[in-house]
Amino acid sequence: MAFVKLDTGILDSTLWIDREAREVFITALLMATPFDTDTPIPTLKSASLESADWDVPAGWYGFVKAAGPGIVRRAGINPDIGMAALVRLSTPEPESRSQDFDGRRLVRVDGGFIILNFMKYREKDTTSGDRSRRYREKKKRDAVTPLRHGRHAPSRVDRHQAEAEAEAEVEVGTTSLKSPKQGTRPSAPVFADKIPDMPSARLMAMYNEQCPKLTPVKKLTASRRQVLRARWKEHPDVDWWRGYFDYITNKCPFLSGSNDKCWVADFDFVIKANKQVAIMEGKYSG
C-alpha cells in the first residue's frame, strides 16, 4: 500500500480554509500512488475534456486512477460542490504559499488525476524519502531488465510490490569523502548517516559559476528540485558536486558545444540520473 505523510503546514495554507477543496485534496492524496514521467503530460479541464493549455513537467508525482466524480464520491461531499472544488484545485492560485506549478495542486490528465506536490508530502521524513529513492532505483533497474523465458516486464500496476521489495533491501557501508581533484571523475560515496539537507540554491549557483559554457539555470522549478533531490540523496556532499561540475567543464567539451550539432547541455541534462552516470563514466569526455 502506498504511503504519504500529511504535512502539518497544510493548516497554514490557503487550502485549509477551503473546506471542500481540502477534503477532495486529502482524499486524492490517500488514493494516489507514485508515478513518474520522462516527458511532459498535457492536462485537461477538470469538468470537461477540453485541453487546459498546461503540461505537467517531467518528474515524479502522485497518480489517482479515478474520474473526478469517483474522487468526490470518496470524499463524501455533494457532487456539484466537489467538482467545483476539483476545478479550483487545478487552477493557478496566486496567493498560495508555494508557487510550484503556479499554485496548482491537482490536475486532470488522460486516465485520472495527478497530484503535483505528492512527492513533497511523501518524502517529508527521511525514512519515507529513502524508501521512495530505493523504489525509484528498483523501478529503473526493472525497466531495463530483458525478458526471459516468456516473462513479462514489470508494469506500473506492480509498483506496490516493487516498493515493498525495495524497502526490504539493506544499504550498508560508509566511506570517507574527499574533494575530487580538478578534472577527475567523482566517485560515488555511500553514506550510512542521515542525509544532510540539500543546499539547492548553492548547487544552482555552483553550476552557473563552474559551468559557464553550459546553458545557465535561472530558476529551480518544482520538477528540477525533485530530480536534484534524488541526485543529492545519491551524492549528499557539496564537495562532490563541486568536483562533478569541475569535471564537466574541464573534461567534457562535448557538453559545451564541441560536437557536430554545436549542442550545449543544460542543468536538467547534467542532473538527470542516466546522463549523470554517463558523464561520470566518461562518455562525454574528450
Q: pLDDT grade, residue 59 (50/70/90)? A: confident
Provide the percentage of residues in the chain whose pLDDT is more than 90.
Answer: 36
Dump pLDDT digits (tens) for 161-203: 444 444 433 333 333 334 445 555 555 444 445 678 888 888 9
Q: Which cell numbers hold the place of 82? A: 466537489
DSSP 159: H
Calpha distance 116→54 (Å, rounded): 13
Arithmetic mean of pLDDT, 142-160: 45
Question: Which range is least confidently modeled, 107-121, 213-227, 267-281?
Answer: 107-121
Per-residue model confidence (pLDDT) at position 146? 44
Per-residue model confidence (pLDDT) at position 191? 44
HSE of 257 in the Cβ direction (CA atoms, 13 Å)? 6
Question: At residue 123, does pLDDT exceed 60?
Answer: no
Query: If DSSP codes are grouped into helix, strand and coil, which group holds residue 44?
Result: strand
Per-residue model confidence (pLDDT) at position 62? 87
Per-residue model confidence (pLDDT) at position 160? 46
Arithmetic mean of pLDDT, 1-14: 71
Residue 113 contacts by C-beta under 8 Å, 6 or more apart in sequence?
28, 63, 64, 66, 68, 71, 86, 106, 107
Q: Do 38 and 118 form a contact (C-beta atoms < 8 A)?
A: no
Calpha distance 43→55 (Å, rounded): 6
Arithmetic mean of pLDDT, 249-278: 90
More confident residue, 44 or 259: 44
- Going by C-alpha positions, the residue among 7, 5, 15 that lies closest to residue 91 is 15
Per-residue model confidence (pLDDT) at position 196? 81
Question: At residue 122, does pLDDT exceed 90?
Answer: no
Residue 251 contacts by C-beta under 8 Å, 6 or more apart in sequence?
183, 185, 282, 285, 286
Question: At residue 266, does pLDDT exceed 90?
Answer: yes
Arithmetic mean of pLDDT, 128-138: 62
Question: At residue 273, does pLDDT exceed 60?
Answer: yes
Per-residue model confidence (pLDDT) at position 70? 94
